[in-house]
Structure 1
Amino acid sequence: MSSTTHLGTGLVAPQATAPGTPAAPAAPAAPAPHPRRRLLVGAALVGPVALAAQYLLSSAGLPRDDAGPWLAGLAEDPTAQTLSVVVHLVAMVAGIAGAATLALACGRRAPWLSGIAAALLAAGSVGGGGFAGMRLIAGVLAGEGGPAAAETWTAVQQGPPFLVLGPLVLMAVIGTVLATVALVRARADVTVWAAPAHLAGFVLASGEFPAAVSVLGEALVLAALVPVARAALRG
């Protein structure tokens, strides 16, 4: 009996794929975003651009400023003030879309927080739209001029309109803080710098600074919104 050992004995030869055998199916591609979601995200991106245009069109100040100087500023260029109000209203509608976009982008990692922030931001947009509409009334008073117009606007500032709309705008401040926290939690889905850019932009664009600073703030908000929009489209 031979005791010679033959190399390869007992090994199974590799099996070649038979000709014509179909290849393994590739992983399915991610579905394209629904057109309505694209429209929503696109509307959200309009918001900071419209607010920046609003600051460039009107530098008269804020409705809560002293009535006399504020009305005098509105009377300097009524056409520009009217255009500013229209653009402001567009921005407020876009702000509601921006709130929904935030909720979509952060929904996986911060669903409750982003949802509450979105609701507060939407309420703030409603309040901002109300103040924009009141600027049209102030424009009429500015055209009349005189102490009587200033007294009328002072009465408006101390009356129900400001009492109702003021808390809504405050909700936007709280919503922005919560949105910043939500963006921090969702930084893996969005980006690391979106949260600080969003908060810094909101502060700079608050209307408390010159128009150039406010425009810079809206540019920061827009920059932060771009990765948020991408995350919302990925869903």
Structure 2
Amino acid sequence: GYVVASNFNKPAHVVTRVSGSWTVQSVSSSSSSTYSSQWIGIGGFFAHDRSLIQTGTESDYSSGSAQYNAWYEMLPASETPISGFAVSPGDTISSAILYAGIAPHHTQYWNIYLNDTTQNEHFFIQVTYKSSMLSAEWIEERPEIGGKLSTLADFGTAYYGSDYTSVSRTNYATINGVNTALGSLPYESITMTTSSGALYAQPSALTSDGISFSVTYE
């Protein structure tokens, strides 16, 4: 996936919005259970940052069938499934997480939006959370199951951003009050590897407009 920050050497607490879109990936059948998730988030990238607020979709193969669902999560709590929100492979997902003001007890209000534009489903919740506001991410993930990294589902190639989804102003982030494309901000790409260092999932370069990318299962 990709991550942006105000500065990767000395990041400031100035990331207030992330917006993303992706195509829900299908997973192929396997003899064992496999898992994958696609999400956007704020925080959690830098080593000292224990905060992470995120929302996304999951594409798993478990108990003999493919399973697709939507969720949001605020570390250290575990993910909250979004009930009644049907997700199918090939659906277009549009999502955003944005800072909505100062909340009591030194926390913040955050708005989480997740929309399945293919099925015309819309989810919104406002939560209180203490975010570092240090980074924003667009991620293909191998989820942790029971505290251990799961086996990554073979999702083929996953597509993120408006060049693939036609959802305008995705993938964008707001840093220091300026909302702009991922590639116009200081960014790094993130490659997923196994514990032994073998390639697991590889992000493409950004599209020429600096907005979109794909991730390929290796």
Which category describes the TM-score, using the shorter chain as reference length? under 0.3
Instruction: Pick the structure with more helix per residue.
Output: 1
Instruction: Pick the structure with more strand per residue.
Output: 2
Q: TM-score, normalised by structure 2?
A: 0.26
Q: TM-score, normalised by structure 1?
A: 0.25
